[in-house]
Amino acid sequence: MNELRPVRALALAERAKRAAAVAGAHADDVDASGRFPQEALDAMRAELLLGLQIPVALGGEGASTAELAEVCSVIGQACAAAGMIFAMHQIKVSSLVAHGQGDAWHEGFMRRIAAEQLLLASATTEGGIGGNLRNSICAVEVADGICRLEKDATVISYAEAADAILVTSRAKADSAPSDQVMTVFLKGQYSLDKTHHWDTLGMRGTRSDGFLFKGEAPACQILPKPFAEIAAQSMLVYSHILWSGVWFGIAADAFARAQAFVKAAARKSPGSVPPGALRLAEASNLLQLVKSNILAALQQYEAAREDETRLSSMSFAVSMNNVKIASSQTILDIINHCLLVCGIMGYKNGTPYSLGRHLRDAHSAQLMISNDRILGNTSTLLLMNRQDTSLLG
């Protein structure tokens, strides 16, 4: 433990910036090569960022949701893929922290995450159901204290780099598709047979390939709470807030490049306002809207986190869905504004003002999980629940 103290003595913001600097140095190559950002992961481990959320009693730092969102933003400004990997890892950790405490195996696993800086991945998508994480076709089989699972996982982000994968399935062979559990499988307890290659427009470094997953592990590695509770009380809020933190980071870096472009133009023509200045002001306004959206979600979650009934309520689900929709849509407007400000210098690769990677990465935001699917869920909820119109609600 003494080896950890010098790093933890540094402010979290400084540690995040040091990891982001490494991620940023390799971001263009990660994107161009479509490779996993190993250097960024190594830096996150060196800065002890992977165990931030683990409770202090279990060897972590007990970081708040707001602190995690800020780290997502800082790393996302440097490399969106690295920021998204950090966010997806912390979403999985949130499920362990919220639903695994009090269980001996899962508490021991959390200690390992903090001490060894383990990277967690997730297998929730499945052939035949797409991105509908609240339904499963596959079912976990439990016999003689051992669980076995085979899943056609069409997407498992950074699966080959992960130290463990949390997999959703039906609780039993005769369970309904929505009667699900989540199981932790450690590296060495599963095999991965690649079925889909990740060659995409953006977020190329997340390496979200598809696999046929086959796992066998002690049954105690199944999380003790039903996945319905896990999804509603931890995954929903952490996904939408931490993803939004990454997306804000992409937009913030695009804005910084556009602002630098306008300042350079102003220095060349003292006394005159560069033509892109008004669009920069519009982008600033939109960036503040995204920030306010995230901050409001954080405040709402902090007010609800100790109340399971409130966390599982329709009104809370509607609010968190709206956070994701608003953030994912608005960042594209911001980056488009910034691209118009920077003009051809933003359109070209290899300039200080290049925005192609930002724009391509940002387009993933509306697709993970599909905004149309989320809007469909929200529309159903609104048939049964009144919209909260209170400013203090």
Locate 318 and state its tokens.
Answer: 């509607």
Nearest to 249 by CA among 322, 334, 319: 334
Interval 291-304 mean pLDDT: 95
Q: Evaluate if residue 2 carries a pLDDT over 60.
A: no
CA separation for the pair 57, 254 (Å, rounded): 39
pLDDT of residue 251: 98
The type of residue at 68 is L
pLDDT at site 286: 98
What is each CA distance from 212 to 138, 146, 154, in whole angstroms?
Answer: 11, 20, 8
Domain 227-384 sits in CATH at 1.20.140.10
Quick: pLDDT tens for 274-292: 889 999 999 999 999 999 9
> Measured on CA atoms in the order 100, 101, 104, 110, is the torsion positive or negative?
positive
- Domain extents for the chain? 4-118, 122-221, 227-384
User: Is residue 12 predicted with pLDDT exceeding 60?
Assistant: yes
CATH class of 122-221: mainly beta
- 4-118: which CATH architecture? Orthogonal Bundle (1.10)
Integer angstrom CA distances of residue 323 from 13, 35, 255 = 24, 30, 21
pLDDT, tens digit, 9 for 90 and up, residues 150-165:
999 999 999 999 999 9
Q: Are strands 120-123 and 164-170 parallel, antiparallel or unpaired?
A: parallel
Among 70-79, 122-131, 185-194, 225-234, the minimum mean pLDDT is found in 122-131
- Say what percent of the chain tops pLDDT 70: 98
Amino acid letter for position 345: M
Examine domains 4-118 and 122-221 and report if their fold is the same: no
